[in-house]
Structure formats: structure tokens, C-alpha cells
Amino acid sequence: MVVYSFTILKSKYKKIHKGEILQAAVNKSDLRITQIVKKAGYSRSSYYHHIGNEELSYEILEAYGRAMKYDFTEDLPEMSKYLIEDSSEAYTLLTLDEAIKQRDYWKDKYYALLEKYHLLIEERITAPGKKK
């Protein structure tokens, strides 16, 4: 008969509640919860489920991190680094005069194209002997 003896070792590391880390990051953010969850691709009710989840996946944390430009790898060093991209940086703010010029440019371009289209339709209707 073989008897095994096991010693229960206590971990010196405290269990990290990833949902609470998410909640703390959202509370620090300047954005509203509704904005953050929309950018992350979740619903508000999902967010409340996520902050209650102790074992929240890194993929979900990454989605929230990208949405609010927060680096969770500082709180969770075992999480792999990800790039925080801002798709809104592709757009530049215009002055009122620049915006009006841009609007007028596209309006004129649209009207010119619309006029060409009407002329083409008129030619097709008035052309003798041509069938569709």
C-alpha cells in the first residue's frame, strides 16, 4: 500500500478580478459607459456582466482597451501587448470656411454628374428607332 502525502501550498499572489480591473478603467475614462461599450462592440448589459466576471478573457479586455485607449497590460502584465489605434485620427477638423468650400465642391460635382445623367436619359428617350 502506497500513501501519498500532499502539502497544500498557499499562493503568495492574490487572485486578480479582471472584471473589477475593467470597471476601474472605465471609471477613470473620460468617456461615458454607453460610448465605451458601443466602440467595443458590446451592449451595456454585456458590460455589467463583464465587470462581474472574475475570469474575463483577454480578448474582451482588449476590445474595451482599444475603445477607451487604455492599456490593460499595465494592470495585467501576463496579457500580451496590443496596439491602441484611433480610427478617428484619419479625419481632420476643418475650419468653417474649409468645410463650406468642401461642401460646395461636392455639391457642384454632384450637380454636374446629375446634369450629365439627365442629358443621357433625354438622348435615349428622343433617339429615333433605338430600343432598349
What confidence tens digit (pLDDT) does each residue in 73-114 have? 888 888 777 655 555 555 567 799 999 999 999 999 999 999
Give 4-35 pLDDT, tens digit per residue. Answer: 555 554 445 567 889 999 999 999 999 999 99
Eight-state DSSP code of residue 15: P
The distance of Cα 43 from the centroid of its chain, to the nearest Å, equals: 13
Q: What is the number of alpha carbons within 13 Å of residue 35 lying toward its C-beta?
A: 8
Phi and psi at residue 46, to the nearest 5°: -65, -40
Distance CA 23, CA 33 (A): 10
Q: What pTM was estimated for this model as a whole?
A: 0.53
